[in-house]
Amino acid sequence: MKSSRTLKVDYLARVEGEGGLRIKFKNGAVTGAHFDIFEPPRFFEAFLRGRKFWEAPDITARICGICPIAYITCACQAMESGFGVKLNAQLQALRRLIFCGEWIESHALHIYMLHAPDFLGYPDAVAMAADHPSIVQQGLQIKKLGNDLVALIGGREIHPVNLKTGGFYRVPTRNELFSLSDRIKSACDAAYQAVLWAATLPFPDFEQDYEFVALHHPAEYAIMDGALVSNRGLEIQISDFEHYIQEEQVEHSTSLHAEMKGRGAYVVGPLARFNLNFKQLSSLALQAASEVKLAPVCNNPFKTIIIRSIEILYACEEALRIIENYERPAEPAIALKPVATTAYGCTEAPRGICWHRYRLDENGTILDARIVPPTSQNQKTIENDLLHFVRRNADLSDEKLTWMCEQVIRNYDPCISCSCHFLNVKIEHDATAKK
Amino acid sequence: MQPKRKPKMAVWKFASCDGCQLSLLDCEDELLAVAQEVVVAYFPEGFRKVIKGPYDLSLVEGSITTPHDAERIHKIRRASKTIISIGACATAGGIQALRNFSNVSDFIRIVYAKPRYIETLSKSTPISDHIKVDYELRGCPINKYQLLEVLSALLNGRKPLLPAYSVCIECKRQGHVCVMVAHGTPCLGPVTQAGCGAICPAYQRGCYACFGPVKSPNTQALSSWMGDRLGMEPADLLRAFRVFNAYAEPFRKESETHEI
């Protein structure tokens, strides 16, 4: 018998950014689970002070190379609503279209390159491709389509240049958008097959009681607009976010932890959106969900790989719908006239809600800014999941338990670069522990 | 003849948004082929397996912002035959180098309630300020085709073909109408290194210099032009040069001349 057991991953792989994990055991019982974030802080909220309102989209995009559209759109919409301007339907649709591209690209990256190898026991997608070439190739092609959609509208995949407060620098022609239609149609077929494939993966029996938080819009599967709702009765305007949610700094993390005041941890992202907005999915997405017998409430975070696949299918169908109805706007953007105000924005980044608040003076200069990314909101839930998972599975070997703990974290597709504005797994046993 | 040993490649991250290393995973058509030609020895964003150094080729993303990272980069240099720094953070300090123009302890207090937990340096600096770098790829983010060109060149033992001219040359070759001359849109293309494909002018936007300064840029002439003819105020000029490559020397000096 060993007196202490240490499972340790110093730098968690297949997540975006730098972080680690520590699990502490005392007398064989788990006493703590920490999801450590050591991504160096970059101080976005500080250097946004003194910048002009129209600079916020491009600057905040640099918080995350994987979901820049979520940041750009969030900053744009904050400024627009702060100045009392609403984009016309076509400009808004074009924004939703490029956002669909980001969901497709980011979800495909996570499903095929970061998450699926866990389920099938491979260290990475390249190793997985040797045995499952058609699945990996299919995933890469779906991902490429998402990127091509972003690049067509935005100029490039990462940190696109064509979005701005008030709209776009240049709006695409109908023919330019139609050039992608056939590929999106084939991606719909591939995405449907992908949902069926994802449902065949082996899922641990792990159901937890969560509070899910997502944007909800009466007319559509919310991506950029709506009120914030939860399965426990939260129903608030995005401007009321700070009255209900607080961020706390913890010693082991350069990312702030968010929690619902008086209620604690909550979940944002695909699991929350699926459970709260299920009925608003598109027809094929609903059909695929029904075929794999997945319906709300899904309380198993390992199954997010199926839900991401369903959301890819949704995003493809939605992209087709938008393209078919597209009429090129007469003006690429609406002029904004700044006023002194506090401006709020909230978008559904692929990993969950991204919330911005800016205080602006009458010249449109940013006086202060606050940005709450999705990963800092999921961090507390991730630590809870780790604790519960390790309690139930303490009899697994160190190697297996460590890998499973990594997977518990990857279920949330954490974006550590975002949350610092995080992974490393370490399991420590104190006294009389088991081997 | 003995089969050639595959070179070992590592990808390292410092302070950054992950976008530049993501560019490698974004090479959907080429990724599996690249992975056939090299041993991916260390690339945590996409690969769980870690193979110990030394490494033939290290890609370094991000800037140096903490005492720990300032040590770590030297270990990476010692373990690597060739180092390529990728992106504006690694080549110029990135957007987080805006702290270099302020007092960093104020910055920490603005973001974190308990500043004592936060360890950070007063400046965000490029990799080349700390170690010898063999090649630099500019951009916020880098252009993935430039990355493939460098990898392919190094794997084949030739020099990478990277443009050293300005965005204007790229823009004119593509036949775009000059957004500054024709539309009066401020554009940093004349002082910015090519490599992006002149995408901003192609989208009716002025270049915002995410590829950093071209060699010997005449930033002062451009500032005068944008000030006199486009009516930009010193504060506007300062902001224009002080963004993603703010700490690259020519841009830093130019922005300082517009301080009030």
Tens of pLDDT, residues B122-131:
899 999 999 9
pLDDT band for A418, please (50, 70, 90 cuts): low
Of A44, A158, A162, the CB nearest to B23: A158
Residues of A in contact with B35 (CB under 8 A): 126
What is the residue-averaged pLDDT of chain A? 91
pLDDT in tens, A306-333: 999 999 999 999 999 999 999 999 999 9
- Predicted local distance difference test score (pLDDT) of residue A414: 84
CB contact under 8 A, B111 and A157: no
- Judging contacts by C-beta atoms under 8 Å, the chain A residues touching residue B49 are 123-124, 127
Of A55, A66, A117, the CB nearest to B18: A66
The answer to whether B47 contacts A14, with C-beta atoms less than 8 Å apart, is yes
* C-alpha distances out from residue A356 to A87, A275, A322, B191, Å: 19, 24, 26, 33
CA-CA-CA-CA torsion sign (B53, B54, B58, B64): positive
Helix (H, G, I), strand (E, B) or coil at A115: helix
pLDDT digits (tens, 9 = 90+) for A142-171: 999 999 999 999 999 999 999 999 999 999
Contact A68 B19 (CB under 8 A): yes
Please answer yes or no on whether B44 and A11 come within 8 Å at the CB atom.
yes
Which residues between 74 and 113 in chain A have a beta carbon less than 8 angstroms from any beta carbon of chain B? 109, 113
Q: A8, A149, A156, A416: which to substitute to probe chain B, counting the most B Cβ within 10 Å?
A: A156
Whole-Å CA distances, A56 to A122, A388, B61? 40, 40, 23
High-pLDDT (> 70) share of chain A, %: 90
Interface test with B, best of A9, A12, A36, A42 (most B CBs within 10 A): A42
For β-strands A227-230 and A213-216, DSSP reports them as antiparallel
Looking up tokens 């009716």 gives B204
Is A144 at the interface with chain B, CB within 8 A?
A: yes
A159: number of CA atoms within 13 Å, CB side? 31
**Domains in chain B and their CATH numbers?**
8-155 (3.40.50.700), 167-257 (no CATH)
Is the pLDDT score of A25 beyond 90?
A: no
Q: Pick from A41, A117, A157: which is nearest to B111 by CB?
A: A41
Residue of chain B whose Cα is closest to the Cα of A136: B32
For A136, the token pair is 């990996």
What confidence category does residue A336 fall into, taking pLDDT thresholds of 50, 70 and 90? very high
Q: What is the pLDDT of residue A434?
A: 34
- Whether B202 sits inside 8 A of A155 (CB atoms) is yes
pLDDT of residue A9: 66
Contact A141 B28 (CB under 8 A): yes
Chain A residues within an 8 Å CB radius of B28: 140-141, 143-144, 147
Interface A-B, measured as beta-carbon pairs within 8 A, has a size of 174
Contacts of B22 in chain A (CB under 8 A): 16, 65-66, 109, 158
Q: Mean per-residue pLDDT for B147-154?
A: 95
Q: How far apart are CA B21 and CA B7, in angstroms?
A: 18
Question: For B31-46, what is each residue's pLDDT tens digit?
Answer: 999 999 999 999 988 8
Q: Please check whether residue A343 is in contact with residue A81, taking contact to mean a CB–CB distance below 8 angstroms.
A: yes
| Cβ-defined contact of B99 to A47 (cutoff 8 Å) | yes
| H or E element, residue B13 | strand B8-13
**A45 shares contact with chain B (CB less than 8 Å):** yes
Helix axes A304-324 and A133-154, enclosed angle (nearest 10):
40
Q: Quick one: pLDDT band at residue A422, thresholds 50, 70, 90?
A: very low
ipTM for the assembly:
0.95
| DSSP β-bridge partners for residue A8 | A22, A426
Among A151-165, A240-254, A385-399, A418-432, name the most confident range.
Answer: A151-165
With a pLDDT cut of 90, the percent of chain A lying above it is 76
DSSP-derived pairing of the beta strands A227-230 and A235-236: antiparallel
Residue ranges of A 387-416 with Cβ closer than 8 A to chain B: 406, 415
Residue A220: phi and psi, rounded to 5, are -155, 165
For residues B2-28, give the mean pLDDT.
91
Residue B122: predicted pLDDT: 87
pLDDT score for A144:
97
Using the beta-carbon criterion (under 8 Å), do B46 and A59 form an inter-chain contact? no
- pLDDT value at residue A399: 86
φ and ψ at residue B135, rounded to 5 degrees: -140, 150
Residue in chain A nearest B112 by alpha carbon:
A249
Alpha-carbon span B260 to B243, nearest angstrom = 18
pLDDT band at A32 (very low <50, low <70, confident <90, very high): confident
Average pLDDT, chain B: 94
What is the structure's pLDDT at A423?
35
Local confidence band at A353 (pLDDT 50, 70, 90 cut-offs)? very high
